[in-house]
A and B are shown apart, each in its own frame.
Chain A
Amino acid sequence: MLTLSGRVIKKHSSVIPTGPRLYSLSTNANLPLALRGKKAFLIKESAEVPTGFSHYFHLEGVDTKIVDPENTTNLGKEFSYFGNDDVVSLSDDGRIRSIYRADSDHNSILLTEQCNNYCLMCSQPPKRVDDSWLLKEAFEAIRLIPRETKVLGFTGGEPTVYGQEFINLVGHTKNWLPHTSLHVLSNGRSFANEKFAYEYAKVQHPDLMVGIPVYSADPTIHDYVVQAEGAFDETIRGILNLKRFGQKVEIRVVLHKQTYKGLPELANFIARNLLFVDQVALMGLEHTGFTRANIDSLWIDPIEYKEQLSEAVKILSNYSIHTAVYNHPLCLVNPDVYPAYVKSISDWKNEFAAECEPCTRKNECGGFFSSGIQNGYSQSIKPFL
């Protein structure tokens, strides 16, 4: 697991606090001078440090002569994964966060920690604080992210809490990253407002999808899981509005003790009512955030819902709905699920258990969330030999 945010060892002292600053990193010592002013140089090798960069990040243990100590920040070894074209945020009090990693296909920008749902298994527990600086930062990050980026995600919290400002960000992203496919995670409730859905569609982003969770065909169960009365109704109407305006929608289902029984009926519901969605993702539980507090009402060994998972996949594929099963170890699903099986866990939090050591199919397997390895995982896993 990678440490995505932490503290620097020693930060240069600035006289006036300016709020967090974003830097686009370079490891290219031969970068033309004209470009250096816009970049921060990442000192990863004990070679001569080039001059003219706007800032320097010095990784602990790299032995070299610092050229511009006033503008140099020292980083611990946990950040040695930083690389060329990465974007990082550095705040006045010495907190550093990775915003974008150039060598990863799993880049998501957190836009807010506020949310109008309060899901039992939220991996990013919502906070009721004004964190709109994150949105501002996102606008800036979009300008710094390389234009050849293939995929980018916006996540929260609930990104649409910003209303029109969120839509502006989508438009801004279309302008600066016209060839990047953009994926937004939202609970979809804001789109129940037809006007909002219309404005979102009006951006005409060429490659945009919004992933919306629907946890059950039964509104009561969905509302309970997201801890918000009336959420199901709004989410469904949101999906209808998005599709009415021709937007791509993915339905995301997290499988746990409250949702697995209703999974086949949810598949029927989607097939019958939401046949026009672009894909359905069936995902394993991540042991982080609220999940740990609610573990007793959420945890079920995936081996126990094998049959429900198979049935749901069968129903959805019968209706030719593009279906993907995420976050499940390969040994815990029936073979009839393989056509929908995806190796999916974001690279920075994907690991294998000790039992997996001798397995011959690790290269096909999605493995585990790092949080699962730390906090408990299925005792039913069995290496393929």
Chain B
Amino acid sequence: MSKFSTLDKYVSQQGKYELLPFRFESLEDNDVVLTNFVGEFVILKRDKLDEVVQKRLSPTDETYSLLRSRHFIKEVSDTASIELLGLKTRTKHSNIRNFTNLHLFVVSLRCDHSCQYCQVSRQSENKAAFDMTEETADKALQIVFRSPNPAIKIEFQGGEPLLNFDLVRYVVIKAKQINEVEKRDLQFVITTTLSLITDEILDFCKEHKIFLSSSLDGPEDLHNRNRPRPGKDSYSRFVDGLQKARDKLGYDSVSALMTTSPASLTRVRDIIDEYLKHDLDGIFLRHLSPYGFAIKTKSYEAYNVDRWLEFYREGLDYIVELNKQGVRFTEHFASLLLTKMFTSSDPGFVDLMNPSGAGISAVVFNYDGDVYASDESRMLREMGDTTFKIGNLHTNSYEEIFTSEALLNALDDSFTLSAPMCTDCAFEPWCGSEPVFHHAIFGDVLGRKPESEFCKRIMGVVRHLLNKMQTDPEAKEIFMRWANKC
């Protein structure tokens, strides 16, 4: 007799496994996706799922092995799997412990552009009315450094922040002074169209390692149509500014974002090609938000989520083809979702966080000293809705702001693990609670999920990603690369 035991000695008896918590959702072709608490997933045929749940799954079945190693089922003696699930859950939520990282300073609402879909900007000569003052900025900085987060990002927003660059300069220098003692990992970003960039501004950015986040909506005609300014030269100013900024600050210091206007819908390939032309290594195919002028000018109603999904799918498929041809190019929205699907880390994107990232992951200091839970919250305010105003720099303390009812109720009431339908949704681990959007549409932070365009959009994108992975192994490989980019 051999002194070695055969494999069957280590195989469990039939039906002796336990189910760990998981949810499932139907896909195409009788496929079902199962997700566990931390967003790991397995795709099975429907009848295989029945076997699993009814404990008919044979311990020698390949699916048994897969489900056990991915923590959907366990044997009685498996203790490491529980420990690992706990560890992954803690990892997934570890950014909550660090609290606020991103601090947005709305330094001016004034802007040289008058984009039809813009949520907030003002064409105003009245500097005093829509610019942040040094006094307000000082108060904001006091709040910034109360955040326990070892990494602090200060992002200058507008309007066009370069129209109040003196204040940007003031905040950067002041923040760095404070940081001599605080020793945080401090980063600055200016969100700008680049239309007003000058050598002097770039010198300052270089000296203080400031990143620039810009906008490019597509080819020249589309970009200029979406982003009107006096002289109709938004595009050429962007192109010049991009080149200058890259020369001075380096390739990695400048990025661009696009917004999908109604005129973009038929032109996703043109838009992506435009990004390629400018040597950008990725694009964020963004939908329009139902805020600000987007609502007033009816841009938001000009297309529904189904039409946007069509646009998105066409764009994503094109980008995957580009990658297959050897061009490394990323779609950033997919990359955020894929990071949640393939890793235990949370990329910290406000729309896709639970509890919501509003007020936790990011906070907004408006030009007038009001504090908002997110960028979208202050856009709502420009429509007259102050629901997500969580305080004012001149009248409230740090404690009052971050324990305000406005914030806590929104976080509490929108929490997906207790939200009707979210709790049953297989995509919940990859999704977020988005209280601001639901409030804007439904008047309460929960909303009605079957009618929610947010749900439809996320679910539509996730389904497309899953179906692509199922049918195209090369796409799956590309997706795994994207997952680890955030």
Contacts and interface: CB of A to CB of B under 8 A. Distances in A.
Nearest to B75: A219
A272 B343 contact: yes
B396 interface: no
B476 to A, nearest CB: 11
A318 B477 CA distance: 9
B84 A318 contact: no
A286 interface: no
A229 B11 CA distance: 10
Contacts of A227: 4-5
Given A227-B4, A229-B10, A233-B79, A221 B88 contact: no
A262 B65 contact: yes
A295 B11 CA distance: 22
Contact of A240 (B66, B80, B342): B80
Interface in B78-114: 78-80, 83-84, 87-88
B69 interface: yes
Contact of A220 (B4, B5, B10, B483): B10
A217 interface: yes
Interface in B1-23: 3-7, 9-12
Given A219-B68, A219-B75, 18 more contacts: A217-B65, A217-B69, A218-B69, A220-B59, A220-B65, A221-B7, A221-B10, A224-B5, A229-B10, A236-B80, A237-B79, A272-B70, A275-B344, A315-B480, A318-B480, A318-B483, A318-B484, A319-B343
Interface in A207-227: 217-221, 223-224, 227
Given A233-B79, A273-B88, A318-B480, A265 B7 contact: no
22 contacts: A118-B4, A219-B75, A220-B7, A223-B10, A224-B6, A227-B4, A227-B5, A233-B78, A233-B80, A240-B87, A265-B65, A265-B69, A271-B343, A272-B88, A272-B342, A273-B87, A275-B343, A293-B4, A315-B480, A318-B480, A318-B481, A319-B343
A237 B80 CA distance: 6
Contacts of A265: 65-66, 69
Name, among A233, A262, A273, the residue most crowded by chain B CB atoms within 10 Å (CB to CB): A273
Interface string B52-76: 0000000100000110111000010
Nearest to A266: B69
Contacts of A132: none
B214 to A, nearest CB: 29
B126 interface: no
B65 A240 contact: no
A258 B10 CA distance: 13
Interface in B463-485: 477, 480-481, 483-484
A221 B6 CA distance: 11
A272 B65 contact: no
A118 to B, nearest CB: 7
Nearest to B480: A318
B402 to A, nearest CB: 31
Contact of B65 (A221, A236, A290, A315): A221
B477 A314 contact: yes
B83 A237 contact: yes
Contacts of A223: 10
Contacts, number: 78
B177 interface: no
Contact of A236 (B59, B75, B84): B84
B339 to A, nearest CB: 11
B37 to A, nearest CB: 13
A265 B68 CA distance: 12
B344 A272 contact: yes
B4 to A, nearest CB: 6
Contacts of A230: 77
Contacts of B3: 118
Given A220-B65, A265-B66, A275-B344, A294 B481 contact: no
Contacts of A219: 68-69, 75, 78
Contact of B484 (A229, A262, A319): A319
B171 to A, nearest CB: 34
Contacts of B40: 272
Contact of B12 (A217, A220, A232, A293): A220
Nearest to A318: B480
A99 B483 CA distance: 47
Interface in A286-334: 290, 293-294, 314-315, 318-320
Contacts of B4: 118, 120, 227, 290, 293-294
Contacts of B5: 224, 227
A218 B62 CA distance: 10
A269 interface: yes
Q: Which of B6, B7, B11, B75 has the most CB of A within 10 A?
A: B7
Given A224-B7, A273-B88, A319-B484, A240 B83 contact: yes
Nearest to B77: A230
A318 B59 CA distance: 31
Interface string B27-65: 000000000000010000000000000000001000001
A120 B79 CA distance: 25
Contacts of A262: 65
Interface string A266-281: 0001011101000000
